[in-house]
Amino acid sequence: MAQYLWQTSLTSSAWKDQVSGKIAALVDAGSAGAAHFGGQVLHAWVAFGEYDLIAVVEMPDNESMAAYVLAMTAKGHYSAGKTTILLSSDETARALERANLD
The H or E element that residue 85 is part of is: strand 78-86
- Give me the DSSP letters along 14-42: HHHHHHHT-S--HHHHHHHHHHHTT-EEE
- Alpha-carbon distance of 57 to 68, in angstroms, equals 10
Segment 61-76, tens digit of pLDDT: 999 999 999 998 898 8
Segment 24-65, tens digit of pLDDT: 666 666 778 899 999 999 999 989 899 989 999 999 999 999
- Mean pLDDT along residues 16-21: 82
Return the pLDDT at 7: 96
* Count of domains for the chain: 1
Return the pLDDT at 85: 96
CATH number at residue 31: 3.30.70.920
Return the pLDDT at 19: 86
DSSP state of 3: E
32: containing domain: 2-99
